[in-house]
Amino acid sequence: MNTRSNKFIVITILCLTFMACGSETVGSLMGNKDVVVNLVYGSEKQEWLEPLVAEYNAANNKTADGSTIVIEAKPMGSIEAINAIIGQEIQPVVWSPASSVYLPVAEARWQEKFGHELAAQPPADLVLSPVVIAMWQPMAEALGWPTKPIGWSDISELAVSEDGWAAYGYPEWGKFKFGHTHPDFSNSGLVAILAQAYAGAGKQRGLTPDDLLSPELAQFMEQVESSIIHYGSSTGFFADTMFNRGPSYLSATVMYENLVVAQKSKRLSGASSQIPVVAIYPKEGTFWTNNPYVVLNAPWVSDTQKEAAEAFETFLLARPQQERAIALGFRPADPSIPLGSPLDAQHGVDPSQPQTVLEVPEAAVIEEVQYLWRQAKRPVDVTLVVDTSGSMAGDKITTARTSLVEFINQLSNRDRAQIVLFNNQVSVLSPLTPLADKREELVRRVSGIIEGGDTSLYDATLQAYQQLETEGDPDHIRAVVVLSDGEDTSSVRTWQEILQEIGASGEVEGGNSIKIFTIAFGSGADTTVLQQMAEPTGGKQFTGDPATIDDVYAEIALFF
């Protein structure tokens, strides 16, 4: 063979080789890319979604261009999430709130900001569950359940009644203790106040701004809210609180049917020893959670992310994933999947319910009801106990000061706040008086807090607690919020005395007792002690550092 034909053969082989491996080479290069889909969703479906996200990610699903789909999902209050998205604090690809109730408000605000529609396509429903009032079975029976229909109006009457459960022949149950989440952050809180507005107006549809102007409605709402033990950011947390603490703490809570089923399943398996809880489907009508999957039509969402988000949606709507949702107590969005166990009487629910719904009001009316609630909500008496020991020097004291100011600004004028500072001494910076008269002065005083000295954590906490017991108004939510960065080093009072005091008060007042919220600030804080202070009261222990302390205070504010 001559050199020319040799050359030809070499070139041909090279060409063939490139042709053969070309697509694979390109594919593997592209396959190294990840497309990340951030998803924020309502916490009520956490138990369903979390394992599915892990499975989906493990399967290395690809988009058409060969990118590997990575889902990063985070539970967050439904309304809190959209507020954060519109404020561009977070930039997820998908928002899946508990229900479509807030969608009209979100849509209006989105269009105002971005000039186009919120959703990239009409959102599909992932799973369904009606909003119910979860109540301990003996209490529901005292109200006539299951034969007598019970509604928002009955709950409201009970909440308003001075006699509480005594009016139903059960004085030993004390006052009616009711719970719903914060309506500016969580879907179940929002629907609870919408239902209250309907009950107050005596309507089931056509709620108008005029209805909301009536002083009777405002008074009605204020009375119902007076039975609220505290608010909170997540429906899931409320369900846990009720089911862990039992009937002396909370009589009833607005939540979703699936959470009642989940509790019943725990009870049947022996994982919970509480008395049974049942779902009440309000006779005037309720709302549905439909868990819409909203792929955001946002400037930060790429076409590949949209494609990946849709692929994950298809996965969630497929039969095996829907069947897992049913096992957890949801109703399927796909009508070809039958309803069955555990959606049955054995699990405290009635699949033939609800019989009717309340009409979802238009956006402006929803916002009006939220405004009305802010005026009517149960006031809070809060004592902010702040560690000013020497170890708080630097970032800690500066961030604590600004976070406290923000916390004070979230409280309403009717709320009363006092501030107790401690190092080796305990000093009251401001007495328990309404913020209306002293907001500016208080902010000024807080901004001037300086550090130095030892840590008298027990003395300060106990003094704050006892003062709130004597000076606080039992009709208000009463809470002590303690921030500490170290172990107690200089108290006169003992740990035992604190436990005794808290225990005695909790027994008498149940959910209406004074709550202690604690913040372990930085790595030196005594987390064990702070946790043991908070939990028996129905409060919560948080961990924070200079970077996160403002979020921690903001979350505590949601309880009020």
Partner 1 sequence: MQSNRLLFFGIISIAVVVVAGMFLARSLLVNNDPIILSILYSTEKDAWLNDVSSGFTGSVHGRPIQLEFEKMGSREIYLSVLDGSRQPDVISPASSLQISILHDQSMVEDGTPIVSASGADDCRSVVSTPLVLVAWQERAEALGWLASPDADMWEQLQAAVVNPQGWAAYNHPEWGFFKFGQTDPNKSNSGLMTLLLITYDYFNKTAGLSTADIIADDYSQWFGELGKFTTIGDSTGTFMQEIVAFGPSKYDMVAVYEATAIEQVDNAAGRYGALHIYYPPATVLSDHPFCTLHADWVTSDKVEAAQQFVDYLLTQPVQAKALELGFRPANPTITLDSPNSPFTRYAANGLKIDLPAEVELPSGEVLNTLINFWNRHHR
Kindly list the residues in this chain that would bind partner 1 in the complex (CB under 8 A): 122, 125, 128, 130, 149, 204-206, 283-286, 288, 331-336, 338-339, 351-359
Query: Looking at residue 296, what DSSP letter applies?
Result: B
Say if CB 220 and CB 152 are below 8 A apart. no
Tell me, what amino acid is at 58? A
Please state the closest distance from residue 337 (CB atom) to partner 1, in A: 8
Nearer to partner 1, 360 or 420 (CB): 360
End-to-end CA distance of the chain: 92
Nearer to partner 1, 336 or 470 (CB): 336
Q: Which residue has the tokens 């909500």?
A: 377
Q: What are the structure tokens assigned to 277, written together?
A: 């809880």
Calculate ∠ Cα 423-426-432, nearest 5°.
Answer: 130
Please state the closest distance from residue 15 (CB atom) to partner 1, in A: 29
Please state the closest distance from residue 340 (CB atom) to partner 1, in A: 8
Nearer to partner 1, 192 or 477 (CB): 192
Nearer to partner 1, 129 or 388 (CB): 129
Please state the closest distance from residue 186 (CB atom) to partner 1, in A: 22
Please state the closest distance from residue 125 (CB atom) to partner 1, in A: 8
Nearer to partner 1, 330 or 373 (CB): 330
Nearer to partner 1, 27 or 104 (CB): 104
Nearer to partner 1, 363 or 428 (CB): 363
- DSSP for 441-490 reads HHHHHHHT----S---HHHHHHHHHHHHHHHS-TTSEEEEEEEESS---S
- DSSP for 4-69 reads HHHHHHHHHHHHHHHHHHHHHHHHHHHHT-EEEEEEEE-GGGHHHHHHHHHHHHHTT-B-TTSPEE
Query: Distance between CA 406 and CA 387 in Å, rounded?
Result: 18
Say if CB 274 and CB 265 are below 8 A apart. no
Nearer to partner 1, 123 or 506 (CB): 123
Query: Distance between CA 410 and CA 398 in Å, rounded?
Result: 19
Please state the closest distance from residue 150 (CB atom) to partner 1, in A: 12
Query: Distance between CA 85 and CA 103 in Å, rounded?
Result: 13
Say if CB 200 and CB 151 are below 8 A apart. no
Please state the closest distance from residue 108 (CB atom) to partner 1, in A: 15
Please state the closest distance from residue 440 (CB atom) to partner 1, in A: 47
CA nearest to 471, candidates 381, 379, 380, 378: 381
Q: What are the structure tokens assigned to 522, written together?
A: 């930085």
Q: What are the structure tokens assigned to 176, written together?
A: 């009616």
